[in-house]
Amino acid sequence: MKHTISVIVENKPGVLSRVAGLFARRGFNIESLAVGVTDDPSVSRMTIVAEGDERDLEQITKQLHKLIDTLKVFDIPRELSAERELALIKVAVNEKNRGEITQIVEIFRARIIDVAEDSMTVEITGEESKVEGIIKLLRRFGIKEMVRGGKIALQRGGAE
Amino acid sequence: MEITGAEALLESLKKEGVEIIFGYPGGQVLPLYDALYSEKDIKHILVRHEQGAAHAADGYARATGKVGVCLATSGPGATNLVTGIANAYMDSIPMVAITGQVPTMLLGRDSFQEADVVGITMPITKHNFLIKKIEDLPRIVKEAFYIAKSGRPGPVSIDIPKDIFTGKLKFSYPEKVEIPSYKPNLKGHPKQISLAAKAIAQSKKPVLYVGGGVISAEASAELKQLAEKCGIPVTVTMMGLGAFPDSNKLALGMLGMHGTASANYAVTDCDLLIAVGARFDDRVTGHIPRFAPHAQIIHIDIDPAEIGKNVRVDIPIVGNVRSVLKELLEKLGPKENHKDWIEQIEEWKRKYPLSYKKDGLKPQFVIEEFCALTRDRETIIVTEVGQNQMWTAQFYKFEKPRTWISSGGLGTMGFGLPAANGAQFGRPDAIVADFAGDGSIQMNIQELTTAVNNRLPIKIFVLDNSYLGMVRQWQELIYQHHYSHTDLANNPDLVKIAEAYGCAAKRVEKPEEVRAALEWSLTIKDRPCLIDFVIAREENVFPFVPPGQAINEMILD
Ligand SMILES: Cc1ncc(C[n+]2csc(CCOP(=O)(O)OP(=O)(O)O)c2C)c(N)n1
Ligand SMILES: [Mg+2]
pLDDT at A159: 58
Active site residue B112: yes
What superfamily does domain B2-170 belong to in CATH?
Answer: Thiamin diphosphate (ThDP)-binding fold, Pyr/PP domains (3.40.50.970)
The alpha carbon dihedral of B133, B135, B138, B139 has a sign of negative
Q: According to DSSP H, which parts of B445-490 are helical?
A: 447-453, 469-478
pLDDT at B337: 72
Question: Which among A55, A62, A69 has CB closest to B181?
Answer: A69
Report residue B120: phi and psi, to 5°.
Answer: -65, -40
Give B182 to chain A, closest Cα distance, Å. 5
Give A46 to chain B, closest Cα distance, Å. 15
β-pairing verdict for A152-155 and A81-92: antiparallel
Report the C-alpha gap between B407 and B128 in whole angstroms.
22
List, in sequence order, every beta strand (DSSP E) within B371-496. 379-383, 404-405, 431-437, 459-464
Closest CA to B426 of B50, B18, B93, B85: B18
pLDDT at B336: 66
Give the chain B residue whose CA is nearest to the CA of A70.
B181
Please, are residues A103 and A143 in contact by the beta-carbon 8 Å criterion? no
Report residue B420: phi and psi, to 5°.
Answer: -65, -40
Question: Which among A17, A59, A71 has CB closest to B305?
Answer: A59
pLDDT at B334: 79
The CATH number given to B363-534 is: 3.40.50.970
Report the C-alpha gap between B110 and B352 in whole angstroms.
60
Alpha carbon of residue B542 to chain centroid: 22
Number of the ligand closest to the Cα of B385:
1
* pLDDT confidence band for A56 (50 / 70 / 90): confident
Distance B308 CA to ligand 1 centre (A): 31
Number of the ligand closest to the Cα of B486:
1
Report the C-alpha gap between A124 and A108 in whole angstroms.
8
Residue with CA nearest ligand 1 atom 18: B469
The alpha carbon dihedral of A103, A105, A109, A111 has a sign of negative
Please, are residues B69 and B20 in contact by the beta-carbon 8 Å criterion? yes
Active site residue B225: no
A62 and B CB contact within 8 Å: yes
pLDDT in tens, chain B (557 residues): 899 999 999 999 999 999 999 999 999 999 999 999 999 999 999 999 999 999 999 999 999 999 999 999 999 999 999 999 999 999 999 999 999 999 999 999 999 999 999 999 999 999 999 999 999 999 999 999 999 999 999 999 999 999 999 999 999 999 999 999 999 988 999 999 999 999 999 999 999 999 999 999 999 999 999 999 999 999 999 999 999 999 999 999 999 999 999 999 999 999 999 999 999 999 999 999 999 999 999 999 999 999 999 999 999 999 999 999 999 999 998 776 789 999 999 999 999 999 999 999 999 999 999 999 999 999 999 999 999 999 999 999 999 999 999 999 999 999 999 999 999 999 999 999 999 999 999 999 999 999 999 999 999 999 999 999 999 999 999 999 999 999 999 999 999 999 999 999 999 999 999 999 999 999 999 999 999 999 999 999 999 999 999 999 999 98
Please, are residues B20 and B95 in contact by the beta-carbon 8 Å criterion? no
Question: Which among A21, A59, A63 has CB closest to B122?
Answer: A21
A54 and B CB contact within 8 Å: no
Burial class from Cβ neighbours inside 10 Å (0-12, 13-18, 19+) for residue B144 reads: buried
Alpha carbon of residue A138 to chain centroid: 20
Query: Over the range B177-208, which residues count as b (16 or more CB within 10 Å of their CB) and which as e?
Result: eeeebbeeeeebeeebbebbbebbeebebbbb
Query: What is residue B123's DSSP assignment?
Result: G
Report residue B342: phi and psi, to 5°.
Answer: -65, -40
Which residue type, as a one-letter code, is found at position B345?
I
Protein residues whose CB sits closer than 6 Å to any atom of ligand 1: B 384-388, 411-414, 437-440, 463, 465, 467-471
Chain A residues with CB-CB distance to B118 below 8 A: 14
Q: Do A66 and B308 touch (CB under 8 A)?
A: no
Query: What is residue B157's DSSP assignment?
Result: E
Instruction: Locate the domains of chain A by residue range.
Output: 2-75, 81-154
Distance B214 CA to ligand 1 centre (A): 27
Query: What is residue B540's DSSP assignment?
Result: -
Instruction: State in Å, rounded, how far the first CA of chain A is from the last one.
Output: 21
Active site residue B395: no
| Residue B294: strand, helix, or coil | coil
The predicted-structure confidence for A18-40, as pLDDT tens digits, reads as follows 999 999 988 888 999 999 999 99
The predicted-structure confidence for A102-124, as pLDDT tens digits, reads as follows 999 999 999 999 999 999 999 99
Domain B190-351 sits in CATH 3.40.50.1220:
yes
Q: Do A62 and B305 touch (CB under 8 A)?
A: yes
Q: Bridge partners of B316?
A: B299
Instruction: Locate the domains of chain B by residue range.
Output: 2-170, 190-351, 363-534
pLDDT at A146: 97
Please, are residues B157 and B29 in contact by the beta-carbon 8 Å criterion? no
The alpha carbon dihedral of B105, B96, B444, B37 has a sign of positive
Mutate to test the interface with A, among B118, B179, B181 (most CBs of A within 10 A): B181
H/E segment holding residue B296 = strand B296-301
> ipTM of the predicted structure?
0.89
Active site residue B165: no
Report the C-alpha gap between B524 and B517 in whole angstroms.
11
Query: What is residue B124's DSSP assignment?
Result: G
Domain A2-75 sits in CATH 2.60.40.10:
no
Q: Do B147 and A62 touch (CB under 8 A)?
A: no
B543 preceded by a cis bond (ω within 30 of 0) = yes
Is the pTM for the entire model greater than 0.80?
A: yes
CATH class of A81-154: alpha beta
DSSP chain A: -EEEEEEEEE--TTHHHHHHHHHHHTT--EEEEEEEE-SSTTEEEEEEEEE--HHHHHHHHHHHHHSTTEEEEEE--GGGEEEEEEEEEEEE--TTTHHHHHHHHHHTT-EEEEE-SSEEEEEEEE-HHHHHHHHHHHHTT-EEEEEEPPPEEEESSS--
A136 and B CB contact within 8 Å: no
Residue with CA nearest ligand 1 atom 8: B386
Work out the angle at residue B506's Cα, subtended by the Cα atoms of residues B501 and B508, and round it to the nearest 5 degrees: 145
Active site residue B113: yes
For chain A, what's the residue count?
A: 160
Q: Measured from the CA of B363, which atom of ligand 1 is nearest?
A: 21
pLDDT(A64) > 70 = yes
- Are domains A2-75 and A81-154 of this chain identical in fold? yes
| Residue B43: strand, helix, or coil | strand
Report the C-alpha gap between B452 and B443 in whole angstroms.
17
Query: What is residue B95's DSSP assignment?
Result: E
Report the C-alpha gap between A22 and B122 in whole angstroms.
9
Distance B463 CA to ligand 2 centre (A): 7
β-pairing verdict for B2-4 and B168-170: antiparallel
A91 and B CB contact within 8 Å: no
Q: Do B304 and A65 touch (CB under 8 A)?
A: yes
Distance B468 CA to ligand 2 centre (A): 4
